Amino acid sequence: MILNFVTGNEGKFKEVKQILSKFQINVKQAKVELIEPQIEDIKEVSKSKAIQAFEKLREPVFVEDAGLFIDSLNGFPGAFSAFVYKKIGCEGILQLMKNKSNRDAFFASSIAFMSFSLREPVVFYAEVKGKIANEKRGSSGFGFDPIFIPNGYDKTFAELGEEKNEISHRRKALDLFIEFLLKNR
């Protein structure tokens, strides 16, 4: 079986494909225009997008939505992280955090899978807690990776390189998805 991963994010596709290939799960990138629901719950966002993608492709599909949730900013940017990144980037978030002593944050990932045998998408959700760095650090990864330091580390996701793929929110959600796929082949 080849799964369609619906994303326009090349970095995300490369990361997911690399992880899934270790489990002999074939994935291809599908670029499909989807309407992004403007809601704060990333689980509901991913479910909506999986339904839309399945209706358009009529093949097994999955989508992944992620968000950076910052405690002192009341969870902002959260489900709107991709939009916020395009508008203000890491520099904008660092500016918003300039006088904040509480730098606690978490990255969340929600993968929604839809196929012919399912009535509704199955969702796999995971988080990684950490802190917002004081400056951008590192050159690997994408998005907010240069400003997020996972708990137990002194490096940002962008400084961790390949190690990020072993500990990230996306990896944890993918592990749940992989377990589901292997049980239901």
The tens digit of pLDDT for each residue in 121-134 reads 999 999 999 999 99
C-alpha 144/C-alpha 157 separation (Å) is 8
Rounded mean pLDDT, 66-81: 96
Look at residue 89 in the predicted model and tell me its pLDDT. 96
Tell me which residue of 93, 98, 125, 132 sits closest to 109, measured CA to CA: 125
Q: Is the dihedral of CA 93, 96, 98, 103 positive or negative?
A: negative
Could you tell me if 164 and 185 are in contact, meaning their C-beta atoms sit under 8 angstroms apart? no
- Residue 179 has a pLDDT of 95
Structure tokens at 20: 């899934």
User: Does 65 participate in catalysis according to the annotation?
Assistant: yes
The CATH code belonging to domain 2-183 is 3.90.950.10
What is the average pLDDT score of the chain?
94
Alpha helices in the chain (DSSP H): 10-21, 42-57, 81-96, 157-160, 164-167, 169-183
Of 2 and 103, the structure prediction assigns the larger pLDDT to 103
**What pLDDT shows up at residue 11?**
82
pTM assigned to the model: 0.92
Which letter does DSSP use for residue 68 in this model? Answer: E
Rounded distance between C-alpha atoms, residue 111 and residue 103, angstroms: 26
pLDDT band at 88 (very low <50, low <70, confident <90, very high): very high
Weakest-pLDDT range from 9-18, 40-49, 171-180: 9-18
Domain range list for the chain: 2-183
Q: Which of 41, 65, 145, 154 is catalytic?
A: 65
| Mean local confidence (pLDDT), 71-77 | 97
Give SS3 for 145: helix
